[in-house]
């Protein structure tokens, strides 16, 4: 059943409120996560010579944003939750745009790469095609989008105060290709574990 504009606004408001309410706990719980495999997957797929212009989409408190800055790239963060955006600015020293994912305002053909780590699963399925098209439009020709999401069997709904959509690989591919992306690679994380112990589906796409 199609979500109404009011229901979509509630999804945004409730999810962001939960992140803001738990901002410090979220930072402490994620600050030491090793996502170097994901960062390498993005950077190694971008054509041309660095430094790159990058968007850390859903940058949270700025852990990965700071990594991109420390590597010498021009990195900009985008975050919906006000407290997390503030924390990201303080932690990374980078520019951070506070934007609702369902009301994006992005420059056209601006970024070499977009890093969407553990974020796009919060976008309701009915809005995902539009959001992906907006990300595609903000990439330079042959730019790269990295995504990592908890995968599932295409179910969606509320989980512990946050809205999530959990797609399988085939469904995720269909969304990405419909938005104009070409697949580069995919893998499950954490690496080295049996599939049933790999909750994350990571993928790399070219515009």
For the stretch 157-183, pLDDT in tens is 998 899 999 999 999 999 999 999 999
pLDDT value for 126: 97
pTM of the full predicted structure? 0.97
pLDDT value for 31: 84
pLDDT value for 6: 97
Mean pLDDT score of the chain? 96
Nearest to 155 by CA among 124, 129, 133, 179: 124
- Domain total for the chain? 1
Domain of residue 115 covers: 5-206
Q: Is the pLDDT of residue 144 over 90?
A: yes
pLDDT value for 131: 98
Q: What is the CATH number of the domain that holds 173?
A: 3.40.50.150
Higher pLDDT, 136 or 26: 136
80 φ, ψ (degrees, to nearest 5): -85, -35
pLDDT value for 32: 86
The C-alpha atoms of residue 104 and residue 156 are separated, in whole angstroms, by 22
Q: Which two tokens stand for residue 93?
A: 């020293």
pLDDT value for 1: 80
Q: What is the pLDDT of residues 52-98, one digit of tens each?
A: 999 999 999 999 999 999 999 999 999 999 999 999 999 999 999 99
Q: Which two tokens stand for residue 73?
A: 């790239």
């Amino acid at each position: 059943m199609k979500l109404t504009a009011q229901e979509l606004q509630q999804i945004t408001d409730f999810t962001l409120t939960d992140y803001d309410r738990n901002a410090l706990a979220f930072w402490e719980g994620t600050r030491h996560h090793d996502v170097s495999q994901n960062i390498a997957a993005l950077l190694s797929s971008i054509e041309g010579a660095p430094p790159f212009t990058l968007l850390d989409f859903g940058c949270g408190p700025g852990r990965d944003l700071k990594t991109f800055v420390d590597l010498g790239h021009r990195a900009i963060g985008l975050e919906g939750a006000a407290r997390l955006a503030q924390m990201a600015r303080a932690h990374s020293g980078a520019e951070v745009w506070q934007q609702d994912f369902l009301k994006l305002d992005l420059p056209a053909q601006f970024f070499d790469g977009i890093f969407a780590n553990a974020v796009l699963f919060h976008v309701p399925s009915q809005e995902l095609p539009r959001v992906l098209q907006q990300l595609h439009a903000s990439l330079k020709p042959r730019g790269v989008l990295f995504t990592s999401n908890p995968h599932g069997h295409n179910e969606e709904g509320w989980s512990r105060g946050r809205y999530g959509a959990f797609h399988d690989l085939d469904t995720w591919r269909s969304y990405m290709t419909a938005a104009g992306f070409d697949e580069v690679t995919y893998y499950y994380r954490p690496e080295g574990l049996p599939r049933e112990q790999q909750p994350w589906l990571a993928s790399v796409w070219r515009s």
